[in-house]
Structure 1
Amino acid sequence: MRGRDIVGATRRFMLAAGLATSAALAATAFQAQAQAPSGPPIRIGSTLALTGPLAQTGAIHKIVGDLFVAQLNARGGLLGRPVEWVLLDDQSKPDITRTLYERLITVDKVDLIIGPYATAGILSAMAVAQRYNKVLVHSTFGIPKMAAYDRQFPAWPLGIDPEKTMPNDLLDALASIGKTPKSIAIVTSKFPSVQFVAVGAREVAKARGVKEALYLEFEFGTRDFGPIAARVREADPDLLFVGAIGLEGNQLLEALDKLNYKPRNHFYVYPTPGPLATSPLGNDAMATTAFENLPPLNKNPEAAAFAKAFTEAATKAGLPYTEPETQAGASWSMWEILTGAIKATKSLDDKVLADHIKKNGSDTVLGHISFDGQNNYGKNLMRTKQVQQGKWVIIWPKDMITPGYTVQGK
């Protein structure tokens, strides 16, 4: 599917997502008999990119939120009360995100908030949360050193320095099969989180003796990748490292294909998972991941049940890739962290919840997430994955490789 076709299909996916979620619930293992919740709902507010350039990935987060809240209410809600998710469309724009979180707190008067999707939007929401001393659990914040607010908690276990660990893990994976690149081309969107990692990759490559054949930045929202592709082909690196978010990776590959150029080894920081995996141009593409429906990550019964429920809902919604991965897993763990703290403390007080989360961490589908490090970041739980035979598999670290697979490199 070409990039413009995928973008054009986003609205259809979003409409279908809302309809598909309730149907998937009947078969999920999360369902349990419980006394029906009663009383005024506990209102949890957030925004998502339901439209705009980030909507393709926003669709994943909406499916997750709909599933989680429906299953929560089927089990009796929280504190005996039903839960209502107050969701607004931030249109993929951080300035609108900021305004909407102000509205959620001051006008809609929600009880609690959770984060939106993507670093720039989360940073906007975090500023509002800090102004009102609200807890903010979030799922996809990519610049940990900027998360200085003491009541923010990352559900995405990147560790404090992903700009180092991510490129180092990639190079370690290639080195494990004797394919350490001699040259690297780094092409990145100016979207904050991916640009941050790309700049870190420059330093890692230099420290490891990999020659920089090209470093090129482009504006977020770029549609014409032809000139960028021409520069990549001219550089002809052993490794193409793309600071991509959403569909940018697909769009660059399509432009390269028009020039009859195929990268030898290629990595994308935060791509939309489905389009890259299902495109014939995405073969051997690599990325980072926190969750895949693969052993050992899905050995936990809760993780396996979550994966099953998500796939059913994503299939009914018509998403191009229905397996849960980083976006879905981190989004689910965000809800787990917040609701787990409410259950444990029997409170909706932001200070009480923040103190509990900070002290205890949380067991999630991604594993146990701790918040005992700088800016409430704990241990790095990220892995490297690769598209092989039309699907993502885990290729690094060694103890996490999907059985029957190995790193593919040239």
Structure 2
Amino acid sequence: MPVLAQDAPIRVGGTLPLTGPLAGVGAIHKLAAEVFVERVNARGGILGRKLEYVLLDDQSQPANARTLYERLVTADNVDLLMGPYGTSSIIAAMGVAQRYNKLLVQSSLGDPSLAPYDMQFPALPIGAEPQITDTEVLLDAYAGMATPPKTIAFVTSKFPSALTIAKGGQEVAAARGLETVLSLEYEFGTKDLGAIANRIKAADPDILWSGAVGMEAVQLLDAMARIEYKPKRHFYLFPAPGPTAAHPHAEGLTTLTWFEEHEPFLANAGAADFVAAYNERAKAVGFPYPHAEYQAAAEYAAWQILAAAAEGAGKLDDAAMAEWLRANTVQTALGPRTFEGKFNAGKASTKLKQVQNKQWVTVWPADLRPSGSQFVAP
């Protein structure tokens, strides 16, 4: 007996970097997506239909993402799309979605100005101008220290969003009176950062601002350790969370966050259940950091947004789902998400976290610190 359309699963297609330089973070997003699909299917699915995740490996290559999203739409005939990880791949997927008038929910676009498509919706609440707000959050956190920083070094990957945020960060630093003592860029995927580490040591800034993506943070920490140098204060933009926190020279380093597995974040919609399920699975598969943090929560929130749009519209119609998202608030693991303003970005809700005893702890704003925690900074 043939399967009736209303009984067939809703097929959601997407790619993630399961291999290549972004594979460590891609694995986090894959696991978070699987947790969502399993949990929503256990409750009966969406619109009375189970979900099926059609996941392909883009190998950390935007060109592959473009080709694979074309395949998902035209050959695999998926019902809905879910965005990939990483700015370049998201932009590639977005071009395909726009060509076919498909809704695209995405979890990790670091430069919203690259996303003028009106049917893309970001899960991560970075706001419309992260090139300003990201560094403002960092400098706000350090401003109250006994010895506020006076000099800063900007060393960044040429990964598109990292490059944009680094340039904006230099403007923010200058406006606040900090002297930029070093400004370096390197090709994304560069593995030998020895020469860069030597330049950082020579400049010896009060803050090292690193536009590292994925494992680049670990590679830079390794390179600085080899020359016996540790920055006074160091910040990394989009590091692989587990390997970075576990690094023997990571104590005290900071990065951005929008979610960690402690209060008050656990009060967000579905967050506590998500954290419990994700952590159990992460331990079982041997993740180096088997804890839900913002990368995992952003992927989970993207699926919450996609599901809410389908339920809200009452049908799998991309235009109707997009219209519903523009008019409504979605309760997610990252908190309430709205999509007003430029690039459907909504309001920024960016925080700062720090490695303390090989764990990530939210340290700024101060009221988001877990009980008994402090911002440890010289």
TM-score (norm. length: structure 2): 0.97
Query: Which of 221, 224, 234 lines up with 1:256 in the alignment?
Result: 224
One-letter code aligned to 2:8: P
**Post-superposition shift, 1:38?**
7.3
Q: Residue 270 of structure 1 corresponds to which residue in structure 2? A: 238
**Post-superposition shift, 1:232?**
0.4
Distance in 2, Cα, partners of 1:290 & 1:199: 22
**Post-superposition shift, 1:135?**
0.3
Q: Residue 216 of structure 1 corresponds to which residue in structure 2? A: 184
Unaligned runs of 5+ in 2: none
Distance in 2, Cα, partners of 1:152 & 1:38: 26
Q: Does 1:198 align with 2:132?
A: no
SS of the residue corresponding to residue 280 of structure 1 reads coil
**Post-superposition shift, 1:87?**
0.6
Deviations 1:204-227 (A, max 9, x none): 111111011100001111111110
Q: Residue 308 of structure 2 corresponds to which residue in structure 1? A: 340
Q: Does 1:171 align with 2:143?
A: no
TM-score (norm. length: structure 1): 0.89
Contact 1:38 1:82 in 2 (8 A): no
**Post-superposition shift, 1:301?**
6.3
Distance in 2, Cα, partners of 1:229 & 1:136: 39
Q: Does 1:111 align with 2:89?
A: no
Contact 2:268 2:334 in 1 (8 A): no
Query: Which of 268, 271, 277 lines up with 1:309 in the alignment?
Result: 277
Q: Residue 13 of structure 1 corresponds to which residue in structure 2? A: none
SS of the residue corresponding to residue 108 of structure 2 reads coil
**Pairwise CA RMSD of aligned residues?**
1.2
Query: Which of 352, 368, 384 lines up with 2:352 in the alignment?
Result: 384
1:1-400 aligned within 5 A: 39-300=7-268, 302-400=270-368
Deviations 1:73-96 (A, max 9, x none): 111112222211111100000001
Q: Tell me which moved more, 71-80 or 226-235.
A: 71-80
Distance in 1, Cα, partners of 2:32 & 2:253: 25
Aligned residues: 374
Distance in 2, Cα, partners of 1:157 & 1:179: 31
Runs of 4+ in 1 over 2 A off after TM superposition: none
Distance in 1, Cα, partners of 2:269 & 2:301: 14
Contact 2:268 2:332 in 1 (8 A): no
Contact 2:198 2:227 in 1 (8 A): yes
Identity of aligned residues (%): 49
Q: Tell me which moved more, 73-82 or 264-273.
A: 73-82
One-letter code aligned to 1:255: A
SS of the residue corresponding to residue 281 of structure 1 reads coil
Distance in 1, Cα, partners of 2:268 & 2:24: 28
